[in-house]
Amino acid sequence: MPTLAFPSAAGAQGVRVSRSRAARPDELEGIPWLAALTPEERERVLADLRVVAVQPGELICRIGRPVTYWFGVLDGLLKMSNDAAAMPITFTGLPPGGWFGEGTVLKGEPYRYNIQALRRSLVAGITAATFHWLLDRSIGFNRFVMNQLNERLGQFIAAREIDRMTEPDARVARSLAALFHPLLYPGVGELLRITQQELGYLVGLSRQRVNEALAALERAGLIRVEYGGVRVLDLAALRRYGSLD
């Protein structure tokens, strides 16, 4: 059985297959594209799919490493960033239900970003070989990947706009809205399990400033801060927050 490409933070050996396991039935229910497969395609995927628990700070993908798997978040929270740049950039957070890296798998190029766990998380993966096998035969899977690429493009255009915002409340609002994307992150629902410190890592603000922004958004009736997370009350308004129109 192959070694999973889950490089550790130390970056020496990577997370070995001994740390991985097959997915449980309840975990399979949280994989959005499985329902689009035929019985034969699903059988191939289930034989290939592996799940691994990663710890806070651990890297799943590392800049410059070859792509071997296509990954998804079953539980927890990951961060996509380029920490090797002169000015480190956080591209996005990856909450439950999100599958990522399909562009890199399609091109077969080394990773241009790091994927790091912000908390203890469960990450699933299928090999690049199975990913391409599905593309060659499954219309349903192709539609899913095409929608992923389209939505991801829109997400990164929005992220560029967020990065230019100087008003912290607007940065927090738009970044939160991105994490509640129903197509990219169907596992989130209306309640996102996230701490103020984790949100600060994603937005590039201090925990204190994030707390102030969340309080302002709560007063505006857009969110409700609950124990261990944030519940969205008006996603459309959250997406528009800070715009001139």
Query: Helix, strand, coil shares of the chain as percentages rounded to 5?
Result: 40, 20, 40
Which of 99, 126, 153 corresponds to the end of one domain? 153
Amino acid of residue 221: G
- In angstroms, the first-to-last Cα distance of the chain is 55
Q: How many domains does the chain have?
A: 2
**Comparing 4-13, 145-154, 185-194, 202-211, which segment has the lowest mean pLDDT?**
4-13
Let me know if residue 187 belongs to a domain: yes
Instruction: Return the pLDDT at 14.
Output: 43
Contacts of 34 (CB under 8 A, 6+ apart): 28, 42, 45
pTM of the predicted model, to two decimals? 0.84
Within this chain, do residues 180 and 102 fall inside the same structural domain, yes or no?
no
How would residue 242 be classed by pLDDT, with cut points 50, 70 and 90?
Answer: confident
Asked whether residue 222 carries a pLDDT value surpassing 90, the answer given is yes
Instruction: Return the pLDDT at 86.
Output: 59
Within this chain, do residues 144 and 187 fall inside the same structural domain, yes or no?
no
Let me know if residue 125 belongs to a domain: yes
Let me know if residue 158 belongs to a domain: no
Within this chain, do residues 61 and 125 fall inside the same structural domain, yes or no?
yes
Contacts of 206 (CB under 8 A, 6+ apart): 200
Within this chain, do residues 34 and 127 fall inside the same structural domain, yes or no?
yes
pLDDT in tens, 154-171: 877 776 776 666 788 998
For residue 20, with 0-12 CB atoms within 10 Å meaning exposed, 13-18 middle and 19 or more buried, which class applies? buried
How would residue 17 be classed by pLDDT, with cut points 50, 70 and 90?
Answer: low
Instruction: Return the pLDDT at 18.
Output: 61
Asked whether residue 15 carries a pLDDT value surpassing 50, the answer given is no
209-213: long-range pairs with CB below 8 Å, 24+: 209/168, 210/168, 210/172, 212/168, 212/169, 213/168, 213/169, 213/171, 213/172, 213/173
Asked whether residue 189 carries a pLDDT value surpassing 60, the answer given is yes
Instruction: Return the pLDDT at 85.
Output: 60
Asked whether residue 5 carries a pLDDT value surpassing 50, the answer given is no
User: Is-contact 94 73, C-beta < 8 A?
Assistant: yes
Sheet with 20-21: strands ordered across: 20-21, 50-54, 121-127, 69-75, 99-100
Within this chain, do residues 136 and 211 fall inside the same structural domain, yes or no?
no
Which of 125, 153, 181 corresponds to the end of one domain? 153
**Mean per-residue pLDDT for 116-122?**
95
How would residue 78 be classed by pLDDT, with cut points 50, 70 and 90?
Answer: very high
User: Is-contact 73 98, C-beta < 8 A?
Assistant: yes
Within this chain, do residues 116 and 210 fall inside the same structural domain, yes or no?
no
Let me know if residue 1 belongs to a domain: no
Within this chain, do residues 143 and 117 fall inside the same structural domain, yes or no?
yes
Which of 92, 123, 153 corresponds to the end of one domain? 153
For residue 177, give its domain range.
166-240
